[in-house]
Structure 1
Amino acid sequence: MKGRVKTQTTQLPSYTFRVERLSHEGRGIARYSDDFGHPVDKQGKNVFITQALVGETVRAQLTHQSKKLDEAELIEVLGATSAERVEPVCPHFTKCGGCTMQHMSGDMQIELKQQTLQSHLLHFAQLTPETWLDALRSPRLDYRHKARIGVRYLAKQKQLVMGFREAKSNHLTPIKTCKVLDKELDQALPALHQLLKQLKGCADIGHIELSKGTTEIALLVRHTADLVAADLQALHLFAQQRSWQLYLQAHDINSVKRIDQPQAESRLHYHLGESTQQLTLAFHPTDFIQVNPAVNQKMVKLACELLDLKEGESVLDLFCGLGNFSLPLAQAVGGSGRVVAVEGSEAMVRRGAENAKRNKIGNLKFYTQDLTKDFSKFPWVNQGFDALLIDPPRSGAELVMHYLHHFNAKRIVYVSCNPATLARDAGILVKHGYQLKKAGVIDMFPHTGHVESITLFEKLTTQSI
């Protein structure tokens, strides 16, 4: 084509390797060596191989080369396979970028995540907890109650693709099933694809979102142009037949509207706690929630146990969201205690207050506050607290660490979704006189490299110094 030059791509060579260890994200690490006749100029250089396990001899195709390391994809295992290798449960495993560890046993996944947490704490903060907690384990399948699924219409092929992004790519992998999705959501995927591809405006749909509470399900359709009446009717019928809530999103997050019952509350609900003290938390389909309800139950219970709360104590919950920890904490300290919950999103703070009212909890107050900026002059800061719970985003809570003297909490539970920022923040906590007492892995996302964790820090007393 005039004005464009077609780039010629040369396929990189394949080699045989012996896998020595695993990277934090689960790739096999091997080295070029004389044993397999590798080029002399590569001797000793590391290569990271997807889906290869420790102890295996593999044939792998190079996909990327750099000065420090090379990357490769597994072609085949030569000889005996690792005892930890299992058959992936998903037919889309090799292409979909969602679950990258389905080829290894559940025990090995947990062990790798524990090693990752341990190495980050030791390497970046020179810390080892006094006690390692048992991992909070998850069901291996059907655990995920929320998902965003990409939709793309291929005009030349006249095909609609519905699926997840491939690893390190914007390309969508068409999916017919997703074994980590809640079973009811997974079983609806073929019908959803059939519905979307029949819509006249299918080319204007960018993605769909599925959300499930304890009982309700919501379908959200993101579209870039108005849908015609026939399309709206088809979507209505699909939702009505399944008793699902139906939402449309035309532009940004503020444009989301419920259309199956426009006058009805735009909420789903999930339960927390024991039956005698069960809480019901409401959320909008676009809200951030923990997508693994079974593990969330265990995590919230463990956080309360680690804080060892007493009747009448005061607790500060930072990055509180819609009250996932705040409400159980308020229950734990009783009517004579108090909980202050702080979150940067006004919408989530409103949701938290709504949930406190719904559950008749009066000893809990929510505040909107950007916790990445100076908040030292706000009145909630200097009230004094017995315990502190922190559940920050991946970027961690570095600024918060520098205001610990305002809170004067004796016990801190830090729930993390990023071991690197946890290690950084843990180092600051220790400098402020805290000791790392307990740490453990939360397997919130089985089959993925995500390392969630929970840690307990206690303030050193004069006697213990």
Structure 2
Amino acid sequence: MSVRFTIDRLGAQGDGVANTETGPVFIPFTLPGEVVTAARERDRATLMAVLEKSPLRIEPACRHFGDCGGCAVQHLEAGAYRAWKRDKVVHALRAARIECEVDDLVPCAPHTRRRVTLSARRTEAGLLLGFNRHMSTQIVDLDECPIALPQIVGALDTLRELASLICATSRPFHMAVTVTASGLDIAASDSGRMGERQRQIASNFVIHHGLARLSVDGEIIIEPKKPVVMFGTAAVPVPPGSFLQATEPAEQAMADLAGQHLARAKKVADLFAGCGSFALRLAMKSEVHAVEGDGAALAALDRGFRFASGLKRVTSEKRDLFRRPLTFKELNGFDGLVFDPPRAGAEDQCRQIARSDVPLVVAVSCNPATLARDLAILLAGGYRLKRVTPIDQFLWSPHVEAVALLEKPKKRR
């Protein structure tokens, strides 16, 4: 049974929110000011029809939008979309009682996503490859994707065939596809245990189609060309399934902000360094000590440094910064630092940074809430927040990155 709703605001996840006598109701693919009919189930509802459209409603860029759960707000006009994303950072800082002017959002262009994680499943009608339907485990079989690089979209049929060749399970599995300088790097997970004949067929397929690498559950099945990603002037051989920023332009924008802020620093610490996206760019001007808990990522960073030219010294340390953060005494040996933790943030590490004398700090985050919490710790420790820049690299999704620049005045002797 459908119910009539008036949409009051856009929620944090991109759903339209209708305020009712029994509480808010979240209705995907709707916009503020719209009058809609929807089938309600508790605090959620499925859109049936838009009776009165918002002037901010535009034609979605993808014909899968509304079925595919990969994007939430393709129907929102670009200026309003950018304001909504910026406001997510503004509201998070305000909730933590942090006063700071927030820059305009650094936008994300379509067709720039270099890594996507696709879902796959064998069915009686053939193999499905795409993203999950909104709020469902059902897979929407993709024919197009306006967020991804053309190299990925153009290879969808090839990827679908490869998924069919490696599939050894009746359950859904995943394929992370990354565009590298060497070609497509495919990292499958939970696709089942392949037999020797199956492995050989899949390997021949990879070679025939010029793919860079195929790995399954971390095991390299075949690697005709080592996948390489450029971080500044350094060519880094990324490990299977390693973390990589979703788009190269967003990564460069974050690195530029960090580099400008740390330009005076002679010795920099890069915490949660990954494969070196910050460290190897910062090393063009500063000595860098990179700290990371993933040994394979750290080895890739080190190899990238050793084969690069024109960089200052880069040292590395394998360390779980959640269990054993760098102490303030260790940090006092640096002129600047950058940290880019997972979504959980870096609360314990920030407590040590707050006690340190490091004059220049760059905080990078994919979660405005944990960023605000971590910044509050640094501000309580004497840091001053100079600038916050939100960056979009997950186009038409609720996710937003942010870079915060902080300084600590020198103590008077």
Q: Normalized against structure 1, the TM-score is what?
A: 0.81
Partner SS state of residue 270, structure 2: strand
In structure 1, C-alpha distance between the alignment counterparts of 2:176 and 2:277, rounded to whole Å: 21
Which residue number corresponds to residue 134 of structure 1?
104
Partner SS state of residue 58, structure 1: strand
Q: CA deviation at 1:163?
A: 2.1
Which residue number corresponds to residue 55 of structure 1?
33
Alpha carbons of 1:137 and 1:199: their partners in 2 closer, same or farther (altered >3 Å)?
closer
Alpha carbons of 1:220 and 1:374: their partners in 2 closer, same or farther (altered >3 Å)?
closer
Q: Does 1:210 align with 2:177?
A: yes
In structure 1, C-alpha distance between the alignment counterparts of 2:162 and 2:92, rounded to whole Å: 46
The answer to whether the 8 Å contact 1:434/1:457 transfers is yes
Gaps of 5+ in 1: 1-12, 33-41
Which residue number corresponds to residue 115 of structure 1?
87
Matches within 5 A, 1:282-361: 282-307=237-262, 309-310=263-264, 313-333=266-286, 338-360=287-309, 361=311
In structure 2, C-alpha distance between the alignment counterparts of 1:152 and 1:118, rounded to whole Å: 40
In structure 2, C-alpha distance between the alignment counterparts of 1:299 and 1:82, rounded to whole Å: 34
Matches within 5 A, 1:76-95: 76-79=49-52, 81-95=53-67
Q: CA deviation at 1:190?
A: 2.3
Which residue number corresponds to residue 222 of structure 2?
259
Q: CA deviation at 1:374?
A: 3.5
Q: CA deviation at 1:413?
A: 1.0
Alpha carbons of 1:313 and 1:228: their partners in 2 closer, same or farther (altered >3 Å)?
closer
Q: Does 1:433 align with 2:401?
A: no
Matches within 5 A, 1:64-463: 65=42, 70-79=43-52, 81-123=53-95, 125-129=96-100, 131-140=101-110, 142-154=111-123, 157=124, 159-194=126-161, 196-197=163-164, 201=168, 203=170, 206-222=173-189, 223-227=191-195, 229=197, 231-232=198-199, 234-249=201-216, 252-253=217-218, 256-259=219-222, 261=224, 267-273=226-232, 278-307=233-262, 309-310=263-264, 313-333=266-286, 338-360=287-309, 361-375=311-325, 381-404=330-353, 407-460=356-409
Alignment deviations for residues 193-217 of structure 1 (CA, whole Å, 9 cap, x no partner): 2454477957588333322113522
Aligned length: 410
Alpha carbons of 1:357 and 1:78: their partners in 2 closer, same or farther (altered >3 Å)?
same
The answer to whether the 8 Å contact 1:18/1:30 transfers is yes
Q: CA deviation at 1:149?
A: 1.8
Q: For the aligned residues, what is the CA RMSD?
A: 2.5
Letter in 2 for 1:456: L
Q: Does 1:16 align with 2:4?
A: yes
Which residue number corresponds to residue 4 of structure 1?
none
Q: CA deviation at 1:414?
A: 0.5
Alpha carbons of 1:119 and 1:405: their partners in 2 closer, same or farther (altered >3 Å)?
closer
The answer to whether the 8 Å contact 2:203/2:221 transfers is no
Partner SS state of residue 457, structure 1: strand
Alignment deviations for residues 370-426 of structure 1 (CA, whole Å, 9 cap, x no partner): 111234579x82552221111010000000111125641112111100011011111
In structure 1, C-alpha distance between the alignment counterparts of 2:86 and 2:69, rounded to whole Å: 22
Q: State which structure, 1 or 2, has the greater radius of gyration over its C-alpha atoms.
A: 1
The answer to whether the 8 Å contact 1:341/1:366 transfers is yes
In structure 2, C-alpha distance between the alignment counterparts of 1:200 and 1:290, rounded to whole Å: 28
Q: CA deviation at 1:20?
A: 1.8
Q: Normalized against structure 2, the TM-score is what?
A: 0.91
Comparing 111-120 with 174-183, greater Cα deviation is found at 174-183
Matches within 5 A, 1:31-42: 31-32=19-20, 42=21
In structure 2, C-alpha distance between the alignment counterparts of 1:428 and 1:202, rounded to whole Å: 47
The answer to whether the 8 Å contact 2:386/2:404 transfers is yes
Q: CA deviation at 1:460?
A: 4.0
Gaps of 5+ in 2: none
In structure 2, C-alpha distance between the alignment counterparts of 1:179 and 1:238, rounded to whole Å: 27
Q: CA deviation at 1:462?
A: 6.5
The answer to whether the 8 Å contact 1:384/1:407 transfers is no
Q: CA deviation at 1:285?
A: 3.4
In structure 1, C-alpha distance between the alignment counterparts of 2:359 and 2:66, rounded to whole Å: 48
Q: CA deviation at 1:83?
A: 2.5
The answer to whether the 8 Å contact 2:130/2:141 transfers is yes
